[in-house]
């Protein structure tokens, strides 16, 4: 038996829980590595490049939908509302299937395998969607139908095969190892993830200034396909090498009890409310503001240069803060830095009003963004891990309180609130952009001064208000450092007892059969 296998098969005992002077709480497993070197490398690479896409220019952005693809904002919003309703209907069924899955390969691995082929096919179709539409000579209505067919197919695959993604919650039972790998992955990711958006933004600025002359649609397709391939290959490798190490309860959770247990999960309800309020993005997309008002897509990149070294220093700071503060405190700190940055940018832009405002002046807005960005970058490393850490905590809290895990059901409940919100917001935002602000869709369109002012107001103002309100629920998040430590120690003991009981049961069965 290899050293790795020995480590994986070792379980904590009651005697190892209380160690050190004064019997302070400590567990040997908190310093144990469960993952093999190969898994660690693949996880870091997958997590580092898995989010590589065109960012604010990608195929789900307003920039792509309204400018590149040429859809009407209100027509798309109405069609997208039907997708949201379909999503709400199919999610309960998929959650029941996923949470009740038990196989020799694990609970999530079968879904991970099943998702590979359909995800690759839909990914390629999404990449080539603009080129296919132009080659086929599709009009606006046909483009909308084409886009929605792919969206419906992607939603179906995501709902019924997307359970494989939950393996990121259970590939190690050690929260310290999970945090260590997550920080490493996010640090590597910080060097690569924004590169595609930078290149696309630079391309747009060069096109706007007439410095280069290329076909924007073909350029978009080439760049989208390149980054999709780079992001997808490591994800497939992770599907093949990853393992499940957090044991699922033998008894399948009753769907109704599993559903009700979520509402007794106070941390889940609080963070869901915080995400819901903070995610109320009424108004236009900032990318359209940068492109149509400032005509400077690279503004955030240029303004972010002073904050770049700060962002890299924030990663070792994040690990120190994680040891000292609870996820609750870190979440509030990180959110407050974003509020400060947004408030500074909005106040500077409002100076002078519609006719003489700074909102359409490149230099003052770039400086305002840069100063706020430096403050925000102090907690950039924390931002990269805190969302996942809270997600892991609420999942483990449910297991701690109820004795079983219901990842898919928890994801369903959290998603329900956001999906209903998104359906309404897409319709509201589309009307604000097209009817109130007077935005004109298309590649070669110049917006009026009134439209630019209103695009600025709706792009920055509502986001700031709801980000402030989103902090309030986290003040009542009830997992502090002491509760977290106790939770993981008791979880490990419970898992060890279950593992030992299963081992003894298997040995007794072998003796009875004469094996």
- Cα(364)–Cα(16) distance, rounded to whole angstroms? 59
Amino acid 260: pLDDT: 64
Amino acid 462: pLDDT: 83
- Cα(273)–Cα(271) distance, rounded to whole angstroms? 5
Same domain for 146 and 3? no
DSSP letter at 107? S
- Cα(80)–Cα(74) distance, rounded to whole angstroms? 10
Whether 268 maps to a domain, the answer reads yes
Whether 514 maps to a domain, the answer reads no
The three-class DSSP label of residue 501 is: helix
- Cα(83)–Cα(105) distance, rounded to whole angstroms? 33
Same domain for 91 and 116? yes
Q: Angle of helix 308-324 relative to helix 362-377, nearest 10 degrees? A: 30
Q: What is the 3-state secondary structure (H, E, C) of 281-319?
A: CCCCCHHHHHHHHHCCCCHHHHHCCCCHHHHHHHHHHHH
462: closest CA among 287, 274, 288, 281? 281
Same domain for 78 and 214? yes
Whether 507 maps to a domain, the answer reads no
Same domain for 28 and 126? no
Same domain for 13 and 135? no
Query: What radius of gyration do the chain's Cα atoms show?
Result: 25
How far is C-alpha 165 from the chain's CA centre? 12
pTM above 0.85, yes or no: no
- Cα(241)–Cα(3) distance, rounded to whole angstroms? 18
Whether 166 maps to a domain, the answer reads yes
Residue 25 dihedral angles phi and psi, to the nearest 5°: -65, 125
Whether 265 maps to a domain, the answer reads yes
Amino acid 35: pLDDT: 79
Tokens 């998929």, located at residue: 94
Say how many domains are in the chain: 2
Bridge partners, residue 25, by sequence: 18
Same domain for 3 and 96? no
Amino acid 507: pLDDT: 53
Same domain for 376 and 270? yes
List, in order, residues 6 or more apart from 443 with CB less than 8 Å away.
Answer: 67, 68, 70, 216
Amino acid 25: pLDDT: 39
Whether 447 maps to a domain, the answer reads yes
Same domain for 202 and 319? yes
Same domain for 21 and 56? no
For residue 222, give the CATH number of its domain.
1.20.1250
* Residues of the chain scoring pLDDT < 70: 1-32, 92, 95-96, 99, 160-166, 246-263, 283-285, 404-417, 440-445, 498-515
Same domain for 469 and 416? yes
Same domain for 27 and 37? no
Q: Which domain holds residue 413?
A: 33-498
Cβ count near 43 (within 10 Å): 25
Same domain for 21 and 69? no
């Amino acid at each position: 038996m290899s050293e790795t296998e020995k480590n994986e098969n070792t379980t904590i005992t009651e005697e190892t829980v209380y160690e050190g002077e004064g019997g302070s709480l400590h567990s040997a497993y908190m310093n144990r590595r469960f993952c093999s070197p190969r898994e660690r490398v693949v996880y870091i690479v997958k997590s580092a490049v898995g989010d590589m896409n065109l960012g604010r220019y990608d195929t789900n952005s307003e920039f792509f939908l309204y400018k590149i693809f040429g859809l009407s904002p209100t027509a798309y919003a109405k069609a997208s509302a039907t997708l949201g309703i379909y999503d709400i209907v199919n999610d309960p069924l998929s959650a029941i299937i996923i949470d009740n899955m038990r196989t020799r390969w694990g609970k999530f691995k079968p879904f991970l395998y099943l998702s590979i082929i359909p995800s690759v096919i839909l990914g390629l179709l999404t990449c080539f969607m603009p080129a296919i539409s132009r080659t086929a000579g599709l009009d606006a209505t046909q483009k909308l139908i084409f886009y929605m067919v792919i969206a419906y197919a992607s939603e179906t695959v995501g709902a019924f095969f997307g359970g494989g993604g939950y393996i990121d919650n259970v590939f190690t039972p050690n929260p310290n190892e999970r945090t260590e790998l997550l920080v490493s992955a996010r640090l590597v990711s910080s060097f690569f993830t924004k590169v595609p958006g930078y290149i696309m933004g630079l391309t747009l600025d060069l096109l706007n200034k007439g410095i280069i002359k290329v076909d924007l649609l073909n350029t978009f397709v080439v760049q989208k396909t390149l980054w999709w391939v780079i992001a997808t290959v490591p994800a497939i490798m992770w599907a093949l090498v990853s393992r499940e190490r957090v044991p699922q309860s033998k008894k399948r959770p009753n769907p109704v009890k599993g559903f009700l247990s979520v509402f007794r999960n106070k941390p889940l309800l609080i963070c869901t409310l915080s995400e819901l309020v903070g995610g109320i993005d009424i108004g236009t997309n900032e990318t359209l503001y940068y492109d149509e008002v400032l005509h400077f897509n690279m503004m955030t990149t240029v303004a972010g240069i002073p904050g770049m070294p700060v962002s890299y220093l924030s990663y070792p700071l994040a690990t120190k803060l994680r040891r000292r503060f609870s996820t609750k405190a870190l979440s509030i700190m990180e959110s407050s830095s974003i509020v400060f940055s947004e408030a500074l940018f909005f106040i500077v832009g409002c100076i002078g009003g519609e006719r003489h405002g700074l909102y359409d002046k490149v230099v003052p807005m770039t400086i305002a963004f840069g100063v706020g960005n430096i403050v925000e970058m102090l907690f950039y490393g924390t931002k990269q891990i805190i969302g996942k850490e809270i997600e892991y905590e609420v999942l483990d809290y449910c297991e701690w309180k109820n004795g079983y895990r219901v990842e898919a059901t928890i994801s369903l409940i959290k998603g329900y609130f956001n999906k209903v919100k998104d359906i309404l917001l897409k319709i509201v935002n589309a009307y604000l952009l097209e009817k109130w602000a007077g935005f004109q869709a298309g590649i070669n369109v110049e917006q009026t001064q009134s439209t630019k002012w209103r695009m600025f107001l709706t792009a920055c103002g509502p986001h700031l208000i709801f980000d402030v309100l989103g902090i309030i629920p986290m003040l009542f998040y009830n997992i502090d450092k002491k509760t977290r430590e106790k939770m993981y120690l008791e979880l490990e003991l419970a898992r060890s007892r279950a593992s030992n009981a299963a081992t003894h049961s298997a040995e007794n069965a072998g003796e009875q059969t004469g094996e």
